[in-house]
Structure 1
């Protein structure tokens, strides 16, 4: 091979011996120039209800009030939503120097402004605004069956659990709130069925049958459901009278962690329920649940003979008298002020004139009703529990609710569409599930957190004050398994319209019509599912009245 072919590919460069090496001209690294801080908006100071507050310029009165922790009611306002125009007028305030009230959500705060948000004038205006909204609000906050139940059973929740086949959950829900489900499932007068809306259409839902079958299913189970109890409080309560009222009070006091002893002149507990047309094993099974959570029973013990009230007051922190009708009791042996008809108690908390001694049931009213006696025991337990904790308590007023007036046949058919029609033709289904499948879900799905209902209750609004002869038609726009819309509950706040617009829904929602006939709908007569493809859940979350809701959502659980 020729020597030139063996040379390297690149020959090394040689520097001339008299040539100086030039220094390399390296560029310095670029310096990062810090961005100037954004200028802060100027601050302004105003006074709300005598409290000074400083907020950025451009804030509203509502922003300033929330900075102070003040709760101004709002229905049509949602932070972060563009074009949020006031319409409900529930947030009005008095601004010094202005002749009329101003909406706090849209009025810009100014330096030196003086605002009053809790004056009688402002409260009256807010109440009137809420009553005007309620006058055009068509819906039952609480179902009629729930309102008329004296035993305080959560009927709609139980029905939906049974209809879904969740029998164990239904058993737990019933036995946590009603101490005698087997008894009431047989001898209750069932006022809930008399109030059922479906009764006027094609027959009431068999609520009593549902309760009875749930109790039977629990009785036949190898391991019966036993409610959980709070940690022991160290407090002891004596219950004189082991009938429906006394045992119900004992049940709920035991659940709250108190130790309870029941005294009765009979040899076994049950009271007047022992004389009812009732299988003995059914009553014994319900009473066994109370014994399983710690009830101590002392029979053959009559107040005034084997034990006195003074002895009970000495040994126990509280005493409950549930001795039954006074006609069968010597009121002189009780040791409390009483007449031949009833024991004298406070109308606020069932407490007698003797501190720490309470009375309830048929010894303070005429007549015996098993469901009402069970409900009286629940109230007695709440009152005694508050007394033992040194907490103020009084009988709460009835829950606020609006009521749907009598419906037309066409509206009843619309209401009936809310029932689970598929359930009634399913094979191998129990009678309770068939009955539960007929429930139309007339109660509001958002009753627990409906802002309109909460504010109306807080301001004492009368939903019938401005009611007129004309009303909206009952209507439910539903998509299977999706979002449902009840136009009768809508107050045209525009929040759902703005949310859909911000999310750039292909169709979204718009206002249709004018004046009193305005309503929210989907353009081009499209379906609700087409209008809310992206933000259906957000619209349901922020709807202030429950007009938008999920049809298959689980019912919210009330605080017991």
Structure 2
């Protein structure tokens, strides 16, 4: 049996095994996209390349036999650069958004399309959980947010944006008026304490997310009531105080404690706060003269903070919200609080403080009229819904009607897409190789599956699966050169090509090229 070394580690494999097989035996992870175990290796994506010492160039590990005495390198800079280039070539021909434009426009990057789809099918309990993963105060923001997400909503290119802000408010209001409003699960207390200076939107959000991770949060504020500028800077007619109070009560319900009427730097020193707590988050809103100095942050009345991690120059002290951004936008402050909570959690866990994960996102940009016509097939043709009641709030029926206008711009497999995962890992850039974007195409003839050729990497896995399943027509490659694409033979539809193997093809597709429709229910116990 052949013996070889990979990254200096020796391994013995069965005759006929590949370098990829050998690497897996050693627990060495090599990225793949066009390879599926048990199927013929097509070696088309070149993402799995490695270096065989003594040979010229790099070789695909999925299709290269392991030979006795072979020395393989899988993690050198040369190999990483080659994999990155392979991914960037695939991305240059990729047509599709990983997430909807609305998500990118939301400072908190809330999964807006998911919330909308849950409203459409009446799953409001799931919708509030989706919202609160990223927005700690949705009933508040549903009333005062300037809705930057709607400014970039693709539907606005056709008629008017989806009423995202009102839909968020609807979900939150229904939840708050229920007998048991949504309460996220909290981890067991870990013994670490965090002081949050300021009970405004940034401080409240930070407390909400840190408490869920097991940290004991104490919010200190100089006012008699929590809320910061939400309470003292927004008229009650625009943001009723009882709505704010009910959302704060949900945060307090998690175990967050409030110490009100206390001004840090006057009633208690910053040094004393730092002694009593393991970390401090400064979220005091707009700073007045002398505030920064009294907090021992900077004598120039400006908090010096890393914009990606919210770390200040004082160990264990973080800062965010209007104290550092001066944007006066509550949704941005809430996003700061959520993101700062991630950095604080990393700090208290003795991890490298890198802040929230910045995921790779493919973006299509503006679409043509013909492409818009395709997107419109996924949404209701009705105009923007206007609430009938005087309170400017949707009824359940109105919310559902409005939610059906969403065009589903986001990818149907954003978390399962290997192209996105590997692009993130290798720092690939979609714009590295300039090319004219192909037109967006969507084939919807199949009752369960949608096919988007612009996301296909021509791996051929679905062709092999369809053939093995005995499909009468199945799938094949059509075209030549750069124009080659996977399609059903003889110009037939996907419904005729995939009669029995559709589910297996969707599961095996390395991107979102083949995906289930929204209304298709996956088999019990599985999720897409």
Q: Normalized against structure 2, the TM-score is what? A: 0.91
Pairing 1:456–2:417 present: no
Give 1:141's aligned residue: 98
Give 1:273's aligned residue: 230
The alpha-carbon distance between structure 1 residues 158 and 99, as it changes in their structure 2 partners (threshold 3 A), is: same
SS of equivalent residue, structure 2 residue 51: strand
Tell me the CA shift for residue 467 of structure 1: 2.4
Q: Separation in 2 of the partners of 1:352 and 1:220? A: 40
SS of equivalent residue, structure 2 residue 495: helix
Tell me the CA shift for residue 421 of structure 1: 6.3
Confirm or deny: 8 A CA contact 2:110 2:133 kept in the other structure.
no
Confirm or deny: 8 A CA contact 1:136 1:467 kept in the other structure.
no
Pairing 1:430–2:387 present: no
Q: Separation in 2 of the partners of 1:165 and 1:430? A: 10
Tell me the CA shift for residue 354 of structure 1: 2.8
Confirm or deny: 8 A CA contact 2:128 2:171 kept in the other structure.
yes
The alpha-carbon distance between structure 1 residues 65 and 448, as it changes in their structure 2 partners (threshold 3 A), is: same
Pairing 1:65–2:23 present: yes
SS of equivalent residue, structure 2 residue 2: strand
The alpha-carbon distance between structure 1 residues 292 and 400, as it changes in their structure 2 partners (threshold 3 A), is: same
Give 1:226's aligned residue: 183
Matches within 5 A, 1:163-242: 163-242=120-199
Tell me the CA shift for residue 329 of structure 1: 5.5
| One of 362, 365, 368 as aligned partner of 2:322 | 362
Tell me the CA shift for residue 310 of structure 1: 2.2
Pairing 1:541–2:511 present: no
The alpha-carbon distance between structure 1 residues 208 and 86, as it changes in their structure 2 partners (threshold 3 A), is: same
Select between 202-211 and 291-300 the one with higher mean Cα deviation: 291-300
Give 1:264's aligned residue: 221
Confirm or deny: 8 A CA contact 2:340 2:355 kept in the other structure.
no
Tell me the CA shift for residue 268 of structure 1: 0.2
Q: Summarize deviations over 1:399-424 as a string: whole Å, max 9, x none.
A: 21111132211110101112256999
Give 2:454's aligned residue: 488
Q: Separation in 2 of the partners of 1:254 and 1:163? A: 31
Select between 176-185 and 412-421 the one with higher mean Cα deviation: 412-421
Structure whose alpha-carbon radius of gyration is higher: 1
Q: Separation in 1 of the partners of 2:313 and 2:87? A: 41
SS of equivalent residue, structure 1 residue 478: coil
Matches within 5 A, 1:315-354: 315-327=276-288, 330-340=291-301, 342-347=302-307, 349-354=309-314
SS of equivalent residue, structure 1 residue 93: strand
Confirm or deny: 8 A CA contact 1:337 1:353 kept in the other structure.
no
Root-mean-square deviation (Å): 2.2
Pairing 1:477–2:443 present: yes
| One of 509, 521, 544 as aligned partner of 2:475 | 509
Q: Separation in 2 of the partners of 1:121 and 1:358? A: 38
The alpha-carbon distance between structure 1 residues 172 and 96, as it changes in their structure 2 partners (threshold 3 A), is: closer
Tell me the CA shift for residue 482 of structure 1: 0.2
Q: Separation in 1 of the partners of 2:356 and 2:179? A: 39
Give 1:54's aligned residue: 12
| One of 305, 308, 311 as aligned partner of 2:269 | 308
Select between 415-424 and 73-82 the one with higher mean Cα deviation: 415-424
Tell me the CA shift for residue 216 of structure 1: 1.7
Confirm or deny: 8 A CA contact 2:163 2:384 kept in the other structure.
no
Q: Separation in 2 of the partners of 1:137 and 1:357? A: 42
Q: Summarize deviations over 1:118-171 as a string: whole Å, max 9, x none.
A: 222222222111111111110101211111211232211111101111112112
Q: Summarize deviations over 1:205-256 as a string: whole Å, max 9, x none.
A: 1101101111221232233222222222222222111111111111111111
Confirm or deny: 8 A CA contact 2:6 2:71 kept in the other structure.
yes
Tell me the CA shift for residue 515 of structure 1: 1.4
Confirm or deny: 8 A CA contact 1:361 1:373 kept in the other structure.
yes
Unaligned runs of 5+ in 1: 1-42, 556-560
Give 2:77's aligned residue: 120
Give 1:102's aligned residue: 59
Give 1:40's aligned residue: none
| One of 333, 346, 349 as aligned partner of 1:389 | 349
Pairing 1:379–2:339 present: yes
Q: Separation in 1 of the partners of 2:134 and 2:198? A: 21
The alpha-carbon distance between structure 1 residues 235 and 93, as it changes in their structure 2 partners (threshold 3 A), is: closer
Give 2:363's aligned residue: 403
Tell me the CA shift for residue 97 of structure 1: 3.3
